[in-house]
Amino acid sequence: MSTTYEKRHNVHPDDAKRYDTERLRKEFLADNLMNDDKIHFIYSFIDRYMVGGAIPKSKALELESIEPLKADYFLERREMGIINVGGKGKITADGETYELNYKEALYLGRGTKKVTFESVDASKPAHYYINSAPAHTSYPNKLVTMADANVLELGTLESSNARKVNQLIINGIVETCQLQMGLTELQPGSVWNTMPAHTHDRRMEAYFYFNVPEGQSVCHFMGEPKETRHIWIHNEQSVLSPSWSIHSGAGTSNYSFIWGMSGENLDYSDMDFSQPDELL
């Protein structure tokens, strides 16, 4: 079986403020997502959200249902978003094949039964980052290229947070039940993401950091705005962010990250901001 998983339980903010470094990483860090010839998931009880990764290096990988889903097939009651952060790949969903170049996305709707992941060149395998959320109805599968993305230019070099936000699987581009995903690229000379920091009680979020140069790292900030914590992140690692937690970061160089979220509101601008001088 090439599909493996871990479970993560939800956490109350009053408990999280007492966690040491080891416990914070155990509960919120997903550090084993990308493995050759495997599909690996973290099944989180935070909104039943799942983050995963797949590297089909020497063989095609078939998406299999896992025990927590209690489903005949993975997407029986779920939707899925996939973004390729590696070499060119192919995903076949119920007989239709989609080619994904670097930074391109694919949305798969509820009811898609058979899904396989492949790489075009085994020497440069695709690295698929995967998010999945429960779905109440079915929407069409859709490939989203960078040309399809809604692009926002945010921040400034003066504040070290000049960045390009590529909205990929988001309301107005892809019809979804609750899943949203996009890709943010920090410009050279900028290290801060998502500043001012914010929370949104109406949805949770997950961050996946990539393009982190060898020998460099990103410090991800989380916790309540008045009770912040941090986790050091390396390349191709992800952090689960409950609705009560901020999600922001600063790197020792520029980098990129994928944000994914689910909840009861598809309005991207629905955020409760905390200004930098308000954080503790």
Chain centroid to CA 156: 24
The domain spans of the chain are: 3-278
Parallel/antiparallel/unpaired status of strands 89-93 and 197-199: unpaired
Residue numbers in the known binding site are: 198, 200, 205, 247
Cβ 192 vs Cβ 160: under 8 Å = yes
- CATH class, range 3-278: mainly beta
3-state DSSP assignment of residue 18: coil
Give the pLDDT confidence score for residue 200 in this predicted structure: 87
Which residue in the block uniquely carries the two structure tokens 């239709």?
A: 96
Q: What is the pLDDT of residue 195?
A: 86
Q: If the chain, 280 residues long, is cut into consecutive pieces of 10 residues, what is the mean pLDDT of each piece?
A: 89 95 96 96 97 97 96 98 98 98 98 98 97 98 97 94 96 96 96 90 94 97 96 97 96 97 82 88
All residues at 6 or more sequence positions from 52 whose CB lies less than 8 Å from its CB, including other chains:
33, 39, 40, 41, 42, 129, 130, 131, 132
**Strand ranges of the sheet holding 180-186, from the earlier edge strand across to the other edge:** 29-30, 237-241, 203-210, 256-263, 180-186, 163-169, 150-154
Q: Is the pTM of this model over 0.85?
A: yes
Annotated binding site for Zn(2+): 198, 200, 205, 247
pLDDT at residue 23 in the model:
97
Q: Which pLDDT score, from 0 to 100, does residue 64 have? A: 97
Q: Please say whether the beta carbons of 166 and 105 come within 8 A.
A: no
The per-residue pLDDT for 232 is: 98
Rounded CA Rg of the chain: 18
139 contacts 79 by C-beta, under 8 angstroms: yes
53-101 per-position pLDDT tens digit: 999 999 999 999 999 999 999 999 999 999 999 999 999 999 999 999 9
- What is residue 255's predicted lDDT score, i.e. its pLDDT? 97
